[in-house]
Amino acid sequence: MSDAAANVPKHHKATGKEKFVIGASSLGTVFEWYDFYLYGSLATYISAHFFSAVNETTAFIFALAAFAAGFAVRPFGAIVFGRIGDIVGRKNTFLVTMAIMGVSTFAVGLLPGYDQIGVAAPIILVLMRLLQGLALGGEYGGAATYVAEHAPNNRRGLYTSWIQTTATLGLFLSLIVIMLTRGLVPAEEFAEWGWRIPFLLSVVLLVISLWIRLQLNESPVFKRMKEEGQTSKAPLAESFGRWSNLKLVLIALFGAVAGQAVVWYTGQFYALFFLERTLKVDGLTANYLIAIALLIGTPFFIFFGWLSDKIGRKPIILAGCVLAALTYFPLFNGLTHAANPALAQAQANAPVVVAADPDTCSLQFDPVGRNRFDQSGCDIATAALVRAGVSYRSESASGDASVRIGDINLDTPRPQGMAPEARAAAIAAFQTDLRAALDAQGYPAAAAPDAINKPLVVAILALLVIYVTMVYGPIAAMLVELFPARIRYTSMSLPYHIGNGWFGGFLPTTAFAIVAATGNIYSGLWYPVIVAAATAIIGLLLLPETSKRNIDD
């Protein structure tokens, strides 16, 4: 064992060097998450600039899909950089990932939109997201492993929980920078070019982050393995080619990380999309409310990390999944009543029904991006309602489609056989009539600022964040403890990034598409509820408790 590892007992109070390791690793990771989350926070503006060639609903889903693209490749980043981290070392690997993240984020701020360079704009945008995802796939495992391998045995949950705060703090930082920019730049100019400023500022954070990380030394566990010639020469084969380790990877994914991921992205991202897109809360107000909730909830990452050292990782993670699965529907319903009470009242007093022949109704999601949903009366009606954020239910009927809003009935246009100009005029007239009917029945076009019960909204959002802290605070320590040191970086990174990259990263896209397809503003919640419940069951049966393990070997 090296001097660095031998001279520090495994149960002790944090030394000054260890505190610097935690601070430096965490701060650098905050900046990486800031870069990554800017896109999600500004998805509405990005959809307008880079996906303007398609209808509004599909454009927003495309923007969310491009956001999710960064998550889709995270497992590949985990494989590539995890292998490098297990062979070359923890420190140098996450220096490389940080540089890739910073440069690709800065490039988004400079990228011309669809109006300037056509289809090349969204293609390059997605390429930048892919680079960000690859970088983040290598970053998290390195930072978590690095901190855990510096930690005493009885404080790994506490030490690594600081890394767990970084995702939320990165989101918080991105929201603060966006709010400051929106406060300084007029609304029209922000929509036109001001949204690029937070991306461009990332170059400053990149320089600071690289300087901080350069001050760190390699982890003592990896140094010992290097000195003794025990590092793996084939970490991929050892991690995934041997059933004994692959089994642990699968248990970690389905019995812990998948549920953690959907709880995390529901509480921090889907809640923001729901406020802005569905409840029509002003973007600045929504960011402000989320930021306060994050500020309230973030200390609980540390609390649950500390608690997991006392009672174990497994009960806390699974309890968070169970609470989320049981309470998401009432919480989001309560969010509607608190953030847009007029909408909640209108939905109760004047429910919306679309009566049409089911064969004439399309799924309100078009992956090709060319369907404008104007070929039938049903499509015209449901597209307008989805865009307005209004829940509706479908009712089978023969003949022409119609919309019933309380006691008001509207006939939809008959687009078949119409010339394009006539069809557009008929649709525009219908949309005007629909908006008037919605107004007459109390459906607001936007949430009234004075009617928002801000304390109650913040309380609900803070509770959603606390669920996040329960599942996320102990997860890094648990993943580090599951796998042997020689293949730890690779083994823990893959289930983490499949869970968070695929199960979590695709959540906003999937949930919004479900809402668009069903017409129920709450139906997207079925996705996180089912995944969280499944994780709780699988984890209860198969997930081992890891908090007392020695991770030096």
Both 220 and 364 in one domain: the answer is no
Q: Does 538 have pLDDT greater than 50?
A: yes
Domain termination site, one of 440, 474, 493: 440
122 belongs to a structural domain: yes
CATH value at residue 433: 3.40.30
- Give the closest residue to 332 by CA, choosing from 463, 493, 150: 463
Q: Does 91 have pLDDT greater than 70?
A: no
Domain termination site, one of 440, 464, 492: 440
Q: Which residue has the higher pLDDT, 14 or 496?
A: 496
Q: In angstroms, rounded to a whole number, what is the distance separating the alpha carbons of residues 152 and 143? A: 16
Q: Which residue has the higher pLDDT, 119 or 5?
A: 119
Both 377 and 477 in one domain: the answer is no
Q: In angstroms, rounded to a whole number, what is the distance separating the alpha carbons of residues 539 and 314? A: 8
310 belongs to a structural domain: yes
Both 272 and 388 in one domain: the answer is no
553 belongs to a structural domain: no
453 belongs to a structural domain: yes
- Give the closest residue to 397 by CA, choosing from 360, 368, 364, 428: 360
Q: Does 368 have pLDDT greater than 90?
A: no
Out of 189-193, 207-211, 351-355, 426-430, pick the least confident: 207-211
DSSP letter string, 483-533: S-GGGHHHHHHHHHHHIIIIIITTHHHHHHHHHHHH--TTGGGHHHHHHHH
Q: In angstroms, rounded to a whole number, what is the distance separating the alpha carbons of residues 140 and 149? A: 14
420 belongs to a structural domain: yes
Both 299 and 351 in one domain: the answer is no
- Percent over 90 (pLDDT), the chain: 32
3-class DSSP assignment, residue 551: coil
Average pLDDT over residues 178-187: 89
pLDDT band for 1, please (50, 70, 90 cuts): very low
Average pLDDT over residues 196-208: 87
Q: Is 349 exposed, middle or buried (0-12, 13-18, 19+ CB in 10 A)?
A: exposed
Q: Which residue has the higher pLDDT, 462 or 36?
A: 462
500 belongs to a structural domain: yes
Domain termination site, one of 440, 469, 501: 440
Q: In angstroms, rounded to a whole number, what is the distance separating the alpha carbons of residues 485 and 493? A: 13
Both 359 and 376 in one domain: the answer is yes
511 belongs to a structural domain: yes
DSSP one-letter code for 194? G
Both 374 and 469 in one domain: the answer is no
Q: What is the pTM of this model?
A: 0.81
Q: Are 269 and 295 in contact (CB under 8 A)?
A: no
Both 132 and 237 in one domain: the answer is yes
Both 523 and 406 in one domain: the answer is no
User: What does the pLDDT look like over 255-269, one tens digit per residue?
Assistant: 999 999 999 989 988
Q: Which residue has the tokens 């000054």?
A: 16
Both 264 and 387 in one domain: the answer is no
Q: In angstroms, rounded to a whole number, what is the distance separating the alpha carbons of residues 27 and 444? A: 42
- Parent domain of 399: 344-440
Q: Does 397 have pLDDT greater than 60?
A: yes
Return phi, psi of residue 405, to 5°. Answer: -120, 100
Write the CB contacts of 436 (distance below 8 Å, at least 6 apart in sequence).
Answer: none
Q: How many domains does the chain have?
A: 2
Q: In angstroms, rounded to a whole number, what is the distance separating the alpha carbons of residues 185 and 182? A: 5
Q: In angstroms, rounded to a whole number, what is the distance separating the alpha carbons of residues 185 and 297? A: 29
DSSP one-letter code for 288? H
SS3 content of the chain, % helix, strand, coil (to 5): 75, 5, 20
Both 106 and 188 in one domain: the answer is yes
547 belongs to a structural domain: no
Helix or strand run (H / E) with residue 402: strand 402-405
Average pLDDT over residues 93-112: 84
DSSP one-letter code for 412? P
Query: 34-51 in b/e burial notation, b at 16+ Cβ within 10 A?
Result: bbbbbbbbbbbbbbbbbb
pLDDT band for 52, please (50, 70, 90 cuts): low
Going by their DSSP bridges, the two strands 393-396 and 408-411 should be labelled as unpaired
Q: In angstroms, rounded to a whole number, what is the distance separating the alpha carbons of residues 498 and 78? A: 9
User: What does the pLDDT look like over 435-465, one tens digit per residue?
Assistant: 999 999 999 988 999 999 999 999 999 999 9
Beta bridge partners of 411: 402
Both 324 and 349 in one domain: the answer is no
Both 400 and 454 in one domain: the answer is no
At residue 260, the pLDDT reads 96
How would you write 340-401 as a 3-class SS string? Answer: CHHHHHHHHHCCEEEEECHHHCCCCCCCCCCCCCCCCHHHHHHHHHHHHCCCCEEEECCCCC
Return phi, psi of residue 411, to 5°. Answer: -85, 140
CATH value at residue 270: 1.20.1250.20
Q: In angstroms, rounded to a whole number, what is the distance separating the alpha carbons of residues 479 and 26? A: 17
